[in-house]
């Protein structure tokens, strides 16, 4: 399986796209602005979207994607399924697909055959989507939120924390899993540790405390850094002297699950 990084930034600027990962070519993990780099053909191949939480930087491309693929998906006779916590789906219904911000694409082009279907999950569920096993993990954020563990077979799983502050329950769960890659957020630098704490994100010092709970030596990929902050955040993380292999995640990277190689290079259109 290939995990393609479409976006991993905490906000937007030229070259900075917000959170989204594409598993092979048919399952999307979060739907930030990075989705907009996919061709129309690639967008139309997406069958499932799993969402970590309701914040705009993670869901903004769903309403736009629905509009883009509606005609092509009509031939497939299958809605794109959006999987999330019930609270996240309720937020999308109330605040996005409400006829004011955007039309209700769960009833378009017609109520019998909509382009989107909203499917609730619960923490601890294991979703089986297009041959991929995805476990829903806990996260601690200002709104109900989750992370995901994608099963990569014998080599171990790809884990995405989602947006989260300190979360002891996550490390407890991961002790029972073989983790090959951990994508973990560090949204703020240590200079803004109070902001990180209030908004339930991590800063490098908090990241260091969290990673004490991660066993072994793991490829750790830092995500959700604010534009312009990458250098200082990564320097502060480096100064921690962690035992893990720590990298800054970048849009355009692909992580291959099933062996240990990580490919770099702009490869956003795998069509
Ligand atoms: Zn958030
Ligand atoms: Zn976010």
Rounded distance from Cα 146 to ligand 1 centre (Å): 10
Which ligand is nearest the CA of 58, by number? 2
Which ligand is nearest the CA of 186, by number? 2
Do residues 254 and 267 make contact, with C-beta atoms less than 8 angstroms apart?
yes
Please state, in angstroms and rounded to a whole number, the distance separating the CA atoms of residues 235 and 248. Answer: 11
Which ligand is nearest the CA of 32, by number? 2
Please state, in angstroms and rounded to a whole number, the distance separating the CA atoms of residues 216 and 73. Answer: 44
Q: Quick one: pLDDT at residue 259?
A: 55
User: Of 131, 168, 134, which Cα lies nearest the Cα of 151?
Assistant: 134
Adjacency order of strands within the sheet including 157-160: 126-129, 132-138, 146-150, 157-160, 179-185, 219-223, 245-248
| Angle between helical axes of 230-238 and 204-211 (0-180°, round to 10) | 40
Rounded distance from Cα 226 to ligand 2 centre (Å): 10
Q: Quick one: pLDDT at residue 77?
A: 78
Which ligand is nearest the CA of 11, by number? 2
Q: Quick one: pLDDT at residue 271?
A: 29
Rounded distance from Cα 53 to ligand 1 centre (Å): 7
Q: Quick one: pLDDT at residue 253?
A: 97
CA count, 13 A, side-chain hemisphere, 14: 0
Q: What is the mean pLDDT of each run of 10 residues along the chain (271 residues)?
A: 97 97 98 98 97 98 97 87 98 98 97 96 98 97 98 94 98 96 97 97 98 95 96 97 96 85 42 29
- What predicted TM-score, i.e. pTM, was given to this entire model? 0.94
Rounded distance from Cα 112 to ligand 2 centre (Å): 33
Rounded distance from Cα 144 to ligand 2 centre (Å): 13
Q: Quick one: pLDDT at residue 268?
A: 35
């Amino acid at each position: 399986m290939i995990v393609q990084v479409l976006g991993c930034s905490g906000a937007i600027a030229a070259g900075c796209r917000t959170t989204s990962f594409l598993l092979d070519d048919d399952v999307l993990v979060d739907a930030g602005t990075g989705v907009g780099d996919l061709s129309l053909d690639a967008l139309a191949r997406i069958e499932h979207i799993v969402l970590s939480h309701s914040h705009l930087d993670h869901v903004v491309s769903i309403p736009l994607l629905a509009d883009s693929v509606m005609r092509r998906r009509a031939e497939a006779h299958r809605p794109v399924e959006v999987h999330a916590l019930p609270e996240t789906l309720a937020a999308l219904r109330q605040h996005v697909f409400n006829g004011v911000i955007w039309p209700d694409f769960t009833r378009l082009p017609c109520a019998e055959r909509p382009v989107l279907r909203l499917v609730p999950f619960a923490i601890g569920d294991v979703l089986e989507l297009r041959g991929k096993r995805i476990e829903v993990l806990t996260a601690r954020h200002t709104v109900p939120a989750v992370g995901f563990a994608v099963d990569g077979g014998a080599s171990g799983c790809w884990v995405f924390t989602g947006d989260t502050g300190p979360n002891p329950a996550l490390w407890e769960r991961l002790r029972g899993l073989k983790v090959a890659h951990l994508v973990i957020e560090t949204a703020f630098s240590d200079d803004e540790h109070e902001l990180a704490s209030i908004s339930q994100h991590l800063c490098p010092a908090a990241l260091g405390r969290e990673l004490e709970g991660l066993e072994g030596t793991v490829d750790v990929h830092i995500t959700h850094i604010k534009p312009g902050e990458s250098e200082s955040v990564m320097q502060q993380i480096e100064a921690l002297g962690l035992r893990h292999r720590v990298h800054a995640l970048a849009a355009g990277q692909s992580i291959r699950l099933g062996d240990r190689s990580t490919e770099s290079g702009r490869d956003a259109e795998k069509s």
